[in-house]
Amino acid sequence: MLKTGMIIAERYEILGKIGTGGMADVYKAKDHKLNRFVAVKVLKQEFREDTTFIRKFRSEAQAAAGLTHPNIVNVFDVGDDDGVYYIVMELIEGITLKEYIAKKGKLSIKEATSIAIQVSMGLEAAHNHGIVHRDVKPQNIIISTDGKVKVTDFGIARAASSNTISSNVMGSVHYSSPEQVRGGYSDEKSDIYSLGITLYEMVTGRVPFDGDTTVAIAIKHLQEEMVPPSVYTPDLPYSLEQIIFKCTQKSVGRRYEKMEDVISDLKHSLIDPQGDFVKLSDVDNDAKTVIISDEELGEIKHTPKVRGSQRRTDAAPLEEEVYDTDYDDGDDEEYEHRRSLERRKQKNRKRRTVSRAVTIAAFLAGAVILIAVIFFLGRSAGLLGGNEDTAVQEPQTETENSGLVEVPNLVGRTEDEAKELVEQVNLGTQMIGEEPSDQEKGKISSQDIPAGTMVEAYTTLKYYISAGADDLVIPDFSNSTAIEAQRTLEDMGLTVTVQKEYCEDDGSGNPEISPGYVLAVSPDSGSTVSSGDSVTLTVSRGLDFADGAQVPSVVGMTEDDALTVLGKWIDIEVIEEQNPDIPAGEVISQSVEAGSYADPDEPISITVSSGDQAPGAAEEETAQDVNDTELQNTAAANGEVWKCTQSLNTPQGYQGGPLRLELVQEAGGETESTNIVDGQVPEFPYQLDITGVPGVSEGTLYVYELIDGNYQQLGSYPLTFEKAE
């Protein structure tokens, strides 16, 4: 087990353990080279001495690292550091599909279909690269907090061998195909079977085959037919049930040929739920004596030759399985005739070899169970296990450094906020002008690539800044509190003046407008104004009771609610007090006892919790900024020189073109930007020799490469400056 603070490969700092499985532990780590959080899967100590497993582990993980798809938890790196074998993966915030099903009981039809489509798309991408998952199950499917579906642990299951058996595989046997259970050859169609079982669980809330032991469940996959999912979900569309049936056929040849076909039918089922478009292969009654599939025959042809007696021994369990599971009940004479002939043949064989058959049958019964256990456990004991959760903690939308990333939504954000967002996903930004907009002046009003679009990393995202609306319309504030109205008007860029007035009786002894609510607005609602104009907001004080108003209780309310309830009072003072036991913003006490009578023209105060933060912390930060500015001014006046002499390694994704290195520092509340290199092709590692703002010890270096005539951001690097002696 690794300890917090350890560094792997001089790059990944371990921050804490976030999951464990049968063969590996998973840690949250920080990649200091790319300045991002990742998940690092580390092989457990007991498997590090198995050279065969290590070889498979490396080759399969390296193959998986070549996959880049929005529906795959991507592998960034694989290697070993002083005997610590690790895989670095994308870190996702979310929960596994298994947890999601447990939480909801069973999923809606549209939700289950959508998830199945996304899983299928991820599997299709893997299959197109020659990678079979071999351990598709809800535990290896992650639902991120933004609704994305991602499949994890591609290619890892194949690395497991018979001498790395884990007991933590109950979660896998429920989803394994018959050929996997039997220990035979598995391919893309094995993933299709497991997907079908997963879809069954999504729509019913249960797995089709269950038992007390892994062997019992495995035998059910081989011999038993599943209960139709419509039994548990009566409103299940006919087409979706047929898709599940076709995915989970015991015969490999009767399943879908490829994931593309599964995706097509799943999409079709959304627009034609009761359609009869799923084509299931009919059982060929004339082929009842076929004991192996074409795929199994091909596998046998490529295996070393064995004696005839041994070959018969290997085929016997397959023959028994077909006889036990493939016959259909029927009453036609031809079927009964064939069945009678078969029974006579079997009786003749039994008369000749009764004792030998009994011996072989007993031997094979034990052998089948032993082979099923060994091969199944070995193949399905992947590096994640049944209880492991790779996806935790941090959202990460980048699918691979050179792959696709999701465009964030910049509209309504400041340029600094937008810059921070795009840096997280390795995109560049370019402001291309101002435009009239309903967005607050100075904030981003539109972007050229819509949010949610998947684009290549390092794409430049262009945006406009809001110049404010040409014409602003005063909203209707009927039934609005004064607090809500004031904030709305200020967000529109208007200057707001608040005044309080008593209102008339509605004829029943109650005020026409409750205290704390908007009585009037000037200019009137619907009027057209311009950004920066002044607006007067008149707030109701309720009925005029002279100096005898009863004081309401506001303790336990939020500050906004308390100010509204105390709308009759003309002068309300808000006092902040640190109290970690009471949520920030909640009223702790009031200066005048609730229920007593007081003059609403006299001041009243309420004490509001600031939570863990001391009152005035924001002001202290501002004061610190002033002190920093003074320090910088003093340093400049003294002629001090502050330099950075760090070394810059080759940026990730660099293609060898001209670079621009831009230094950005915060000084005196202003952003200072300087181009260190512009249009040159430096040699790496590049020795920096930068003079920064006097008195400023930190800065950020932004690296851009000239690609197709435009500078595109490759990354950003924190820099440290020190006063030169």
- Identity of the residue numbered 358: V
Q: For residue 567, what are the CA distances in angstroms to 12, 484, 513? A: 56, 13, 11
* CA distance linking residue 252 with residue 256, whole number of Å: 9
Please, is 539 exposed, middle or buried when counting C-beta atoms within 10 Å of its C-beta (0-12, 13-18, 19+)? buried
* CA distance linking residue 484 with residue 517, whole number of Å: 9
685 prior amide bond cis, ω within 30:
yes
Three-state helix/strand/coil letters over 364-424 = HHHHHHHHHHHHHHHHHCCCCCCCCCCCCCCCCCCCCCCCEEECCCCCCCCHHHHHHHHHH
Which range among 31-40, 302-311, 334-343, 383-392 has the greatest average pLDDT?
A: 31-40
What tokens does 512 get?
A: 């026409």
Q: Clarify whether 689 is annotated catalytic.
A: no
* CA distance linking residue 608 with residue 564, whole number of Å: 15
**Helix (H), strand (E) counts: the chain:** 17, 33
DSSP 576: E
When pLDDT is cut at 50, 70 and 90, the band that residue 467 belongs to is: confident
DSSP 445-467: EEESS-TT-EEETTPEEEEEEE-
What tokens does 166 get?
A: 């884990």
Q: How far apart are the first and last CA of the chain?
A: 45
Between 493 and 187, whose confidence is greater?
A: 187
Q: Give tens-digit pLDDT for 117-148.
A: 999 999 998 888 888 888 899 988 999 877 88
Question: Parallel, antiparallel, or unpaired for β 94-96 and 141-144?
Answer: antiparallel
DSSP element (H, E) containing 673: strand 670-680
| Identified catalytic residue from 25, 31, 77, 135 | 135
When pLDDT is cut at 50, 70 and 90, the band that residue 491 belongs to is: confident
Alpha helices in 258-403 (DSSP H): 259-271, 294-301, 308-325, 333-352, 354-380
pLDDT for res 628: 57
pLDDT at residue 309 greater than cutoff 50: no
DSSP 586-645: BEEEESS-TTSEE-TTS-EEEEEE-TTSPTTHHHHHHHHHHHHHHHHHHHHHTT--EEE-
pLDDT at residue 549 greater than cutoff 90: no
When pLDDT is cut at 50, 70 and 90, the band that residue 280 belongs to is: confident
What value does the mean pLDDT take over residues 527-540?
A: 86
pLDDT for res 61: 73
Lowest-confidence segment of 265-269, 411-415, 422-426 by average pLDDT: 422-426
523 prior amide bond cis, ω within 30:
yes
Q: Give tens-digit pLDDT for 152-178.
A: 877 554 544 333 333 333 347 899 999
What value does the mean pLDDT take over residues 691-699?
A: 86
Q: Give tens-digit pLDDT for 647-683.
A: 787 887 788 889 988 888 887 767 788 888 888 888 8
What value does the mean pLDDT take over residues 179-190?
A: 82
Kindly provide the b/e burial profile for residues 325-361, where b requires at least 16 CB atoms within 10 angstroms of the residue's own CB: ebeeeeeeeeeeeeeeeeeeeeeeeeeeeeeeeeebe
Three-state helix/strand/coil letters over 219-230 = HHHHHCCCCCHH
pLDDT for res 327: 30
* CA distance linking residue 610 with residue 580, whole number of Å: 8
Q: Give tens-digit pLDDT for 631-642.
A: 566 666 567 888
Strand partners for 464: 446
Nearest to 85 by CA among 9, 14, 19, 16: 9
CB-CB neighbours of 511 under 10 Å: 19
pLDDT for res 630: 58
Residue 38 and residue 394 in contact, taking contact as beta carbons nearer than 8 Å: no
Give every CB contact of residue 475 below 8 A, 6+ residues apart in sequence: 488, 525
Kindly provide the b/e burial profile for residues 112-134, where b requires at least 16 CB atoms within 10 angstroms of the residue's own CB: bbbbbbbbbbbbbbbbeeebbbb
pLDDT at residue 298 greater than cutoff 80: no
| Dihedral pair phi/psi, residue 405, rounded to 5° | -130, 160
Q: Give tens-digit pLDDT for 55-93.
A: 766 766 776 777 788 899 888 888 888 888 888 988 887
Give every CB contact of residue 710 below 8 A, 6+ residues apart in sequence: 460
DSSP 721: -
State what percent of residues in the chain have pLDDT above 90: 27
CB-CB neighbours of 283 under 10 Å: 12
Q: Give tens-digit pLDDT for 2-50.
A: 888 899 999 999 988 887 766 778 889 999 888 888 999 888 877 777 7
* CA distance linking residue 354 with residue 605, whole number of Å: 100
CA dihedral (335, 336, 339, 344) positive or negative: negative
| Dihedral pair phi/psi, residue 210, rounded to 5° | -145, 160
pLDDT for res 399: 42
DSSP 511: B
